[in-house]
Amino acid sequence: MRLALVSEHANPLAVLGGADAGGQNVHVAALAAGLARRGHDVTVYTRRDTPTGPDRTETADGYAVELVAAGPRAEVPKDELLPHVADLGDGLRERWDDEPPDLVHAHFWMSGLASLRAARGTPVPVAQTFHALGSVKRRQQGLADTSPRSRIDHERRLCRDVDHVIATCSDEVAELRSLGLAPGRASVIPCGVDTDLFRPAERRDPDGPPRLLVLGRMVPRKGIGNVVEALARLPGVELVVAGGPAADALDADPDITRLREIAHGAGVADRVRFLGGLGREQVPGLITDSDVVVTVPWYEPFGIVPLEAMACGRPVVGAAVGGLLDTVVPGRTGELVPPRDPDALAVAVRDLLADPDRRAAYGSAGRERAVACYDWRQVVEQTETTYHALAASTDRATEVAR
């Protein structure tokens, strides 16, 4: 199939760890690469956010990335991109005029709007993965939510107008139903993990202090501040925090400043190390050099870090929200605690650190679960099956219309 993956703000070639560069970038890159390996012609379309550089890049993984002009040729926070979505849709339509794709898979709600605009009046089916929902974000963040006020209405429209929704977890489907998604119009296909890259290994410094790892974006909703607060109840434990800007830019970053202030206030600044953004190839070693991986977001559409930790044979202490309710099995691969609860987090971590046999058992079970349920090869196959079914149903509908 000739496949178009639209990811308006999450370029799969972007450096990870920034405010708007995280799990969606990883997901789109891995899905595109996996589909290309299965013989599909895959192009990822994303908004141009640089003034120079090629419009099209052929990647070593067999897929292409095309930049589409829409708004300033500069970085724009994703919550400010809505005024440029129409231009993105028109740009996509121009690219597809001569050789349209067989199917479009939109990633994030604004990509869905642009894709529907580009595919209007054509038989090209549009699949939608939201990655995050405005209804959940508004409920969790309240007045701190910076999304456009019309976001939820647009998501309701997408639930009505796209041909199919690919949700990443069961919790998301319930939320989509509340937005009006009709029964039978969604499939649950999780995010995946590269179980060849993320593999178990021994700590390189086994005699070092007990070590926790937090990995991801530094934005408040990721709950990293709660982990720092919990550290005050865990004497002798070290916390490594990876993500955010490059190491030489940490001092100027407001989120790092906020987290450092929390650490100083909690009296644990000497036990917290901020590494900054790192290359993806460095992440497996970071995970295996830790004893427990902690990921306690206030809400989380899916969450790739728990899968990476499980694939590396490390136990996870996560928040009981969103996709973590599917991926982490309490008492088997890790523990789940309420979000925004440093006390409960500290208890769960303390108990795990005190029981090396349980950590090893959780790690082994986590690796087994990652390979059996979340390996990217399986995720790509499930997605491909959904694409074929969607394309076939669209073809049938077109024939009936004739």
- For 125-139, write each residue's pLDDT tens digit: 999 999 989 988 888
pLDDT tens, residue by residue, 163-184:
999 999 888 998 999 999 999 8
Sheet holding 272-276, edge to edge: 272-276, 238-242, 211-215, 292-295, 316-319, 334-337
Sheet holding 2-6, edge to edge: 56-58, 64-68, 41-47, 2-6, 103-107, 126-129, 164-167, 186-188
Same domain? For 172 and 309 the reply is no
Q: Is residue 204 part of a domain?
A: no
pLDDT tens, residue by residue, 52-70:
999 999 999 999 999 999 9
Q: Is residue 200 part of a domain?
A: no
Per-residue model confidence (pLDDT) at position 15: 52
Q: Is residue 201 part of a domain?
A: no
Per-residue model confidence (pLDDT) at position 395: 65
Min mean pLDDT across 102-106, 131-135, 272-276 is at 131-135
H/E element holding 58?
Answer: strand 56-58
Q: How large is the average pLDDT for residues 268-276?
A: 97
Domain hosting 254: range is: 211-374
User: pLDDT category, 22, cuts 50, 70, 90?
Assistant: low
The yes-or-no verdict on residue 38 having pLDDT over 80 is: yes
Q: State pTM to two decimals.
A: 0.85
Per-residue model confidence (pLDDT) at position 402: 42
134-141 and 151-161 are packed helices; what angle lies between their axes, rounded to 10 degrees? 150
Rounded Cα gap, residues 14 and 23, in angstroms: 11
Q: How large is the average pLDDT for residues 354-364?
A: 98
Q: How large is the average pLDDT for residues 350-375?
A: 98
Same domain? For 134 and 221 the reply is no
Per-residue model confidence (pLDDT) at position 60: 96
pLDDT tens, residue by residue, 149-158:
999 999 999 9
Q: What percent of the chain has pLDDT over 90?
A: 83
The yes-or-no verdict on residue 95 having pLDDT over 50 is: yes
Same domain? For 44 and 187 the reply is yes
Q: Is residue 382 part of a domain?
A: yes
Rounded Cα gap, residues 127 and 38, in angstroms: 19
Task: Enter the tokens of residue 144.
Answer: 């701190």
Same domain? For 146 and 220 the reply is no
Work out how many domains the chain is built from and give that number: 2
Q: Is residue 356 part of a domain?
A: yes
Same domain? For 133 and 221 the reply is no
Half-sphere exposure of 54 (CA within 13 A, CB side): 8
Same domain? For 227 and 270 the reply is yes
The yes-or-no verdict on residue 98 having pLDDT over 80 is: yes
Q: Is residue 202 part of a domain?
A: no
Q: How large is the average pLDDT for residues 111-121?
A: 97
pLDDT tens, residue by residue, 73-86:
999 999 999 999 99
Q: How large is the average pLDDT for residues 363-390?
A: 97
Rounded Cα gap, residues 262 and 344, in angstroms: 18
Per-residue model confidence (pLDDT) at position 137: 86
Same domain? For 315 and 385 the reply is no
Rounded Cα gap, residues 180 and 70, in angstroms: 30
Same domain? For 47 and 107 the reply is yes
Same domain? For 248 and 273 the reply is yes
pLDDT tens, residue by residue, 315-340:
999 999 988 999 999 999 999 999 99
User: pLDDT category, 110, cuts 50, 70, 90?
Assistant: very high
Return the residue matching tokens 């109840």: 233
What is the overall mean pLDDT for the chain? 93
Cα angle value 376/381/382 (rounded, 5°): 100
Q: Is residue 203 part of a domain?
A: no
Rounded Cα gap, residues 320 and 394, in angstroms: 38
Three-state secondary structure call for residue 47: strand
pLDDT tens, residue by residue, 195-249:
999 999 999 999 999 999 999 889 999 999 999 999 999 999 999 999 999 999 9
Q: Which of 237, 244, 335 is nearest to 291 (CA)?
A: 237
Please state whether beta strands 41-47 and 2-6 pair in parallel, antiparallel, or not at all (unpaired): parallel
Task: Enter the tokens of residue 74.
Answer: 């500069």
Same domain? For 215 and 355 the reply is yes
Rounded Cα gap, residues 227 and 271, in angstroms: 12
Same domain? For 185 and 100 the reply is yes
Q: Is residue 320 part of a domain?
A: yes
Same domain? For 326 and 380 the reply is no
Query: Which CATH number belongs to the domain containing residue 39 in this structure?
Result: 3.40.50.2000
